[in-house]
Structure 1
Amino acid sequence: MTPTTADQARRLLDLHTQPDILVLPNVWDVVSAQVIAATPGVQALATASHSIASTFGYPDGERIPLDLHLDMVRRIVQAVSLPVSMDMEAGYGNPGETARRAIEIGVVGGNLEDGMRPLGEAVAAVQAVMEAGRAAGVDFVLNARTDAVAHARPDQSRSEVIREAITRGLAFLEAGAPVVFVPGLVARGEIQEVSDALGPQKLTLISVPGASLAARELQTLGVARLSTGPFTQRVALTALQDAAAELIAGGTLPATTRPLN
């Protein structure tokens, strides 16, 4: 029997509370979603707004039209059988309505950026998304993002930055978000501090090439989820450019190339 949207939402929520960290290599189109979904151990998918925008030639930051963005996410949802979370950026001016439209196409979770707006506004946006889920009968898995670390000013003390991330994260949890996303957090001590403050299986992070701890290490720190944002697309594009350069230089395509499409 095909799972309903409510079933998929419950499954995604359960994956965030299990002892094992949930690892979500982000996807950006149908073929990337199918390849990741077919990878052993993958239990859910998350889209990357930056990568989807790049696919259509738009810069990041809600520059891609929402209709086009949602159409790609719809295609991804329809192409796989796993729960799908959508990067909704900052909500396109109406987080509740954007979440409602996403749920309508089968999305069961999503990222929402606070952009360091006043805390009251950011909390209201979280509440609007959670209300959209309740109205649809779905336990929407909102990954409420705070940019306290990613957008920290150079003159801010590190302790002040971490306190701000914790304050915002706790406010988002109180507003109903199941988990809190803190991009830019890579140092073990800071991760432990934020994880302890938010509680076990409440913190989610992004894996940054050459900077982040391994997923297995993050699991020991109580991190619930690890995603990759635009970096998985960059991995693919790096491999593409490197292969093209080797070919143009007189070589061949990699012998390890697999027929994944």
Structure 2
Amino acid sequence: MSKAEAFRALHLRRAPGDPLVLPGPWDASSARTFVAAGFPALATPSAGVAASLGYADGATPADEMFAAVARITRAVDVPVSADVEDGYGLAPKELVERLLEAGAVGCNLEDSAGGVLKAPHAQAEFLAEVRAAAADALFVNARVDVFVHGDGDPERAIERAALYRAAGADCVYPILAPTAVLPLLRAGIAGPLNALALLDGDGPAPAALGELGATRVTFGPGLQRRATAALQEIAGGLLP
């Protein structure tokens, strides 16, 4: 079984309360740490990688992002999915080629740019072209930005999700969807559903998100920010 097949299989037949938990490495060292802890796959966060490279979220040049993903995939044996924002303006064929060259078996693709939602049918066409270029070599996670850059209407998120799934997306990611609407989204969206776990102490644990309908749980840049906060505390204790 290829890594892509193994990654896809991890999303299937998940029991409620047992979502696929995918920590987000920002470099090779953090990736190895998560694998050593027992995680079967990883999903890079674009914001976390950006911070590790010294860029603001959304400002990482494409070449540097793909190079960072390649360093992570070379460092571990488990499948790695890559957050490549909205695709950096690359044509679908080139985007797929660069992801595969970097060793990724999956990708996140956002349906907004510059804080503005893209036209849903145009995004669906883009996703369909990515699917056609990738065949089964990539697991496509279509991010739905209604709750972060739209009006927050769950029905709009469900409508976009249906278009993206019909276009060939393997999973849908309504990022920052309120916990209270996850059951509604689960009822209205076919296939795997990605939920964001917040690490601020107020959000539900991954198992609870699974009970609410999440098939898989990711953390965005939360883990990188927690690690940075811990390092800041350590660094502060070194001063005389």
TM-score, normalised by the number of residues in structure 2: 0.91
In the superposition, relative to structure 1, how do residues 148 and 221 fare at CA in structure 2: closer, same or farther (>3 Å)? Answer: same
Offset at residue 10 of structure 1 (A): 0.7
The 3 A distance-change label for structure 1 pair 28 and 95 is: farther
User: Which runs of 5 or more structure 1 residues have no equivalent in the other structure?
Assistant: 251-261
Structure 2 contact 65–84 (Cα < 8 Å) conserved: no
- Provide closer, same or farther for how the CA distance between residues 219 and 95 of structure 1 changes in structure 2, counting only shifts above 3 A: farther
Q: Does 1:118 align with 2:119?
A: yes
Which stretches of structure 1, 4 residues or more, deviate above 3 A after TM superposition?
none
The change in CA–CA distance for 1:95 and 1:108 in structure 2 (over 3 A counts) is farther
Match of 1:148 in 2: 146
CA distance in 1 between counterparts of 2:97 and 2:226 reads 32
CA positional deviation for 1:95? 5.2
Give the TM-score normalised by the residue count of structure 1.
0.84
Q: How does 1:215-234 map to 2 (within 5 A)?
A: 215-234=206-225
CA distance in structure 1 between the partners assigned to 2:121 and 2:41 by the alignment: 31
Query: Which of 6, 30, 53 matches 2:50?
Result: 53
Q: 2-side partners of 1:194 and 1:172: how far apart?
A: 14
**Matched pairs, number:** 231
CA distance in 1, matches of 2:12, 2:213: 10
1:107 counterpart (100, 104, 109)? 104
Asked if 2 retains the 8 angstrom alpha-carbon contact of 1:48 and 1:86, the reply is yes
Q: Judge conservation of contact 1:186–1:213 (CA < 8 Å) in 2.
A: no
| Residue aligning to 2:83 | 87
User: How far did residue 245 of structure 1 move?
Assistant: 2.1
User: Residues 50-199 of structure 1: matches in 2 within 5 Å?
Assistant: 50-61=47-58, 63-94=59-90, 96=92, 97-115=94-112, 116-134=117-135, 138-152=136-150, 156=151, 161-188=153-180, 190-199=181-190
Identity of aligned residues (%): 34
Shift of 1:24: 0.8
Q: Does the 8 Å contact 2:23/2:42 carry over to 1?
A: yes
Kept in 2: contact 1:202–1:224 (CA 8 A): yes
Structure 2 gaps of 5+ residues are none
Deviations 1:194-231 (A, max 9, x none): 011113x5210111123422111122223111001111
